[in-house]
Structure 1
Amino acid sequence: MERINFAVRARPLSPEDAKTNPWRIADNSILFTIPPNKFNFDRIFSEDCSTFDVYESRMKYIVSAAIGGFNGTIFSYGQTNSGKSHTMRGSSVEPRVIPLAVHDLFDMIQQEMDCEFLLRMSYMEIYNEEINDLLDPERRKMQIHESIERGIFLARL
């Protein structure tokens, strides 16, 4: 719990992308051929890995820690069309990270009958240097604020 884990989920490549793909996965590393380079991660999930497997392996413990009073963040980063939305939102066929996390939160809360909980969740996007609240489509182009009491924050997120 005391460290940041970096995991990569490789999305399936289109036939065109597969022909010109400059990298390959070996264990928990991504190897680039031109220029030769190697990047190591805590975990790399292959193209055929389900969102459920990614969630169970790397994210469920963050949800569990939140029930224990710790702040937690699931951060999805990548180029446009790299699979972030697929992993976070998924499709109607496959469960995705956000619904899995919310479901687990409420299951864990129901098991803790002697406690009272106050949970806050936000779902935001930073795209082209604009911050958007994804739980309220009216809140677009949000501004970053800073105060001594709260630190750095987004108003109304």
Structure 2
Amino acid sequence: MASESVKVVVRCRPMNQRERELNCRLVVTVDSARGQCFIQNPGAADQPPKQFTFDGAYYMDHFTEQIYNEIAYPLVEGVTEGYNGTIFAYGQTGSGKSFTMQGLPDPACQRGIIPRAFEHVFESVQCAENTKFLVRASYLEIYNEDVRDLLGTDAKQKLEVGWVRPWPG
């Protein structure tokens, strides 16, 4: 079933203040209907842009609210039904992971996936009768091979990663 598979989605974040002050040019275009992203090499305007296809593609004018409703909501709904769910935000520094996951407090349509997911889970828990819930969430950062728990008491503390070897035989 398609809703039970890994989906890869890309989001082109808006330019930040620094990029606007530096008069940076846009080199990315998105065809959301086809889930495609095009990147033009600014030094080779005569060449066609590189084309990439994803399960979903969102451009700068898409709000986090829409991304949550289309991508994360079904996943979180499954979590409220007892299934495990993971959202893995990957990208280089400054690519927009925090912008999408944490979001902005204002405007409300740009609240991040994390606060929306927490609200969704706890509303579901509150509405359920005669049911007990155990809610666990982790928010980890992996950077330069260091792992940190961003929900822990000390977000700068590095976590030890243990590897389990498969049973021989």
Q: TM-score range by the shorter chain?
A: 0.7 to 0.9
Secondary structure of the corresponding residue to residue 125 of structure 1: strand
2:38 pairs with 1:25: no
Higher mean C-alpha displacement, 9-18 vs 98-107 = 9-18
Pick the structure with more strand per residue: 1
- Structure 2 counterpart of 1:146: 163
Q: Which runs of 5+ in 1 are unaligned?
A: 149-157
TM-aligned CA deviation for residue 47 of structure 1:
0.2
2:8 pairs with 1:6: yes
1:1-157 map, 5 Å: 1-13=3-15, 14-15=19-20, 16-18=23-25, 21=27, 23-27=28-32, 28-34=35-41, 37-93=50-106, 94=108, 95-138=111-154, 140-147=157-164
State how far apart, in whole Å, the 2-side matches of 1:32 and 1:100 are: 30
| Paired letter, 2:129 | M
Please tell me whether the aligned partners of residues 102 and 112 of structure 2 are also in contact (alpha carbons under 8 angstroms): yes
- Structure 2 counterpart of 1:155: none
TM-aligned CA deviation for residue 33 of structure 1:
4.1
Higher mean C-alpha displacement, 6-15 vs 57-66 = 6-15
TM-score normalised per structure 1 = 0.83
State how far apart, in whole Å, the 1-side matches of 2:122 and 2:143 are: 30
State how far apart, in whole Å, the 2-side matches of 1:52 and 1:26 are: 19
Q: Which runs of 5+ in 2 are unaligned?
A: 42-46
TM-aligned CA deviation for residue 128 of structure 1:
1.6
Please tell me whether the aligned partners of residues 29 and 59 of structure 2 are also in contact (alpha carbons under 8 angstroms): no
State how far apart, in whole Å, the 1-side matches of 2:104 and 2:37 are: 27
TM-score normalised per structure 2 = 0.77
TM-aligned CA deviation for residue 147 of structure 1:
4.0
State how far apart, in whole Å, the 1-side matches of 2:59 and 2:77 are: 25
Larger Rg computed on CA atoms:
2
| Paired letter, 2:53 | N
RMSD, matched Cα = 2.1
Secondary structure of the corresponding residue to residue 131 of structure 1: strand
